[in-house]
Amino acid sequence: MTRNHKMLLAFTVAAAMVSAPALAQKAKPQAKPEKTEHKTEHKAEKKKSSTSSKVAAVNPSGSAQPVLLGQFGDWGAYTASPGGRKVCFALAKPTKAVTDPPNRPRDPTYMFISTRPAEKVINEVSVVLGYGLKPSSDAQMEVSGAKFAMYTQNDGAWIKNAAEENRLLEGLRKGADATVHGESTRGTKTTDVYGLKGLTQALERVGQECR
């Protein structure tokens, strides 16, 4: 996926979070990020806003805006067409989020599993941790007794060994919850727990929409 398309997809997922009251109700309130916490991240957000405006101009019908296909337990299924390229994804917010030291401010956090037919990508697992991650560090996801290393870039994380993604997905489908560990550029360590109820149904709906 190109850098611009990643930016558009991130904007689309963020928009889905804002427009999903069911997810918002489940989310634990988070502190407002300090202005000094993410100077570089705020610059990135400005770029995202600029990019999203261009998308809206190209697609006046609002196709970049996500459409909720259904809410299944902890997970929502969505579709959108950022940049005119159809994507579908399942999305959830953590049911529990802890920082060490305690109560460090963060931007919204979420896990999403995306399918992008134009790129022949099916069920790619991604996590946004809500802060700039420590450079050259790995995040980690634990599910169903297995641990998976995740490579990081800015505030996002993806499975490090692509050959393990199917095993990760199997664990997510069968497990009760998944735990994600990360470390910020400031050395703040985080632990986010995601409920997995309804994920299988959400992925089935995603698969129906994006074949």
For 112, list phi and psi in degrees, rounded to 5.
Answer: -140, 150
DSSP state string for the chain? --HHHHHHHHHHHHHHHHT-HHHHHHSPP-PPPPTTT-HHHHHHHHHHHHHHHHHHHH-TT-TTS-EEEEEETTEEEEEE-GGG--EEEEEE--SEEEEESTT------EEEEEEEGGGTEEEEEEEE-SSPBPTT-EEEEEETTEEEEEEEETTEEEES-GGGHHHHHHHHHH-SEEEEEEEBTT--EEEEEEE-TTHHHHHHHHHHH--
| Domain membership of residue 139 as a residue range | 3-209
Top pLDDT among 105 and 54 is at 105
Average pLDDT over residues 129-141: 94
**Residue 82 pLDDT class (50, 70, 90 cuts):** confident
**Residue 115 pLDDT class (50, 70, 90 cuts):** very high
CATH code of the domain in which 146 resides: 2.60.40.1880
pLDDT reported for residue 129: 95
Top pLDDT among 142 and 33 is at 142
**Residue 61 pLDDT class (50, 70, 90 cuts):** very low
For residue 23, pLDDT over 90 is answered with no
For residue 169, pLDDT over 50 is answered with yes
Top pLDDT among 153 and 64 is at 153
**Global pTM?**
0.74
DSSP state string for 74-86? TEEEEEE-GGG--
For residue 190, pLDDT over 90 is answered with yes
The sheet with strand 138-143 has its strands ordered as 67-72, 75-80, 87-92, 110-116, 121-128, 156-159, 146-153, 138-143, 177-183, 189-195, 96-100
Q: How many domains does the chain have?
A: 1
Average pLDDT, the chain: 79
Average pLDDT over residues 99-118: 94
